[in-house]
Amino acid sequence: MNALAHRRFLKMNGLGNQITVLDLRGSKHVVTAGEARAIAAEPRARFDQLMVLHDPRLAGTDAYIRIYNTDGSEAGACGNGTRCVAWAMTADAAMGDAAKTRLILQTRAGLLPALRESEDVFTVDMGEPRLAWDEIPLAEPFADTSRFELQIGPIDNPTLHTPCAVNMGNPHAVFFVEDPYAYNLEQIGPLLENHPIFPDRANIELAAVKAPDRIVMRVWERGAGITQACGSGACAVLVAAVRRELSARKAVVSLPGGDLTIEWRESDGHVLMTGPATFEWEDTLDPALFETAA
């Protein structure tokens, strides 16, 4: 029988960003791309991101998290998913400390400290943005990644052009526009995600700065498509706006699913994300899901 059969999962969301949390601590099993796709195909377990908890790899951390997109690819970070994991771990008395409010989670992108601010609100330290062309990465050198050469549409009248590139655990390309809802993101999202300039593909954000402390955005997530919210994307948008001198270092970022408060802290360069995590239901994985999963 597949190691995931009958495993308990939590269905959650972060501002409508659909998150499934699967706890594999105590097990050596690593979810395959095929297994992730099989879980995503199950209506009750369907996710934008699957957050899989493993035993800690580093002393002083609480868990190692693997993150999967709907297509089975792995992501380096997921801000909304991290808040959901923090909800699950700080609410679970089986952790041995029902009052625990601070966690240090590890992903392949690094350490993510998380703090439970209230019953459903969490702050995650998303770390420092990476801004060099080879850290994002881009396929060719750009001295200034806050404005790099990329456009879509007619060369003399492009639909979108000159984005800002930021890596917040995942590659992001942020286009500043008047109205993020005036574009067919379903059509242009996959074209930009898979553009040759992004060797690891990229998340695509359309953002409008409405005031120094308020930004409106939409997102096409790499490996998942259009989602209601993206925590790392909101962080990337705030960083991009500051780099372009369009906003303050702290702002409310409004996504289709709701608002996140993002701060790019000047003291240490870390980006803090504050927002809710919402529990929906708990269930177990049907063994039949994995009969053909590779």
Domains annotated for the chain, with CATH where assigned, are 8-127+278-290 (3.10.310.10), 151-269 (3.10.310.10)
Q: Is the dihedral of CA 111, 218, 74, 120 positive or negative?
A: positive
| Known active-site residue 78 | yes
CA 116/CA 89 separation, integer angstroms: 10
Q: What is the pLDDT of residue 115?
A: 94
Chain centroid to Cα 130, Å, comes to 15
Query: What are the b/e assignments for 257-267, b being 16+ CB within 10 Å?
Result: bbbbbbbbeee
Distance (Å, whole) CA 198 – CA 21: 29
Q: Is 235 a catalytic residue?
A: no
What's the pLDDT score for residue 291?
83
Query: Digits of tens for pLDDT over the chain (294 positions)?
Result: 789 999 999 999 999 999 999 999 999 999 999 999 999 999 999 999 999 999 999 999 999 999 999 999 999 889 999 999 999 999 754 444 555 789 999 999 899 999 999 889 999 999 999 999 999 999 999 999 999 999 988 888 888 999 999 999 999 999 999 999 999 999 999 999 999 999 999 999 999 999 999 999 999 999 999 999 999 999 999 999 999 999 999 999 999 999 999 999 999 999 999 999 999 999 999 999 988 776
Distance between first and last Cα of the chain: 14
The one catalytic residue in 78, 84, 164, 235 is: 78
Q: Alpha-carbon distance 268 to 17, whole Å?
A: 29
Residues 245 and 285: their CA atoms lie apart, in Å, by 48
- Name beta bridge partners: 74: 68
Partners of 167 in beta bridges: 130, 171
Tokens read off for 17: 């960003």
What pLDDT shows up at residue 93?
40
Give the model's pLDDT for residue 92: 57
Give helix then strand counts, H and E, for the chain. Answer: 4, 19
Residues facing 253 on adjacent strands: 215, 260
Q: Are 198 and 228 in contact (CB under 8 A)?
A: no
In this structure, are residues 21 and 51 in contact, taking their beta carbons and an 8 Å threshold?
yes
Beta bridge partners of 174: 164, 205
H or E stretch including 282? Answer: strand 278-284
DSSP notation for 38-81: HHHHSTTT--SEEEEEE--SSTT-SEEEEEEETTS-EES--HHH
Catalytic residue among 84, 164, 230, 235: 230
Q: What is the CA radius of gyration of the chain?
A: 19
Q: Which pairs count as long-range contacts for 158-162, CB under 8 Å and 24+ apart, including other chains?
A: 159/183, 159/188, 160/188, 160/192, 160/206
| Cβ-based neighbour number of residue 147 at 10 Å | 15
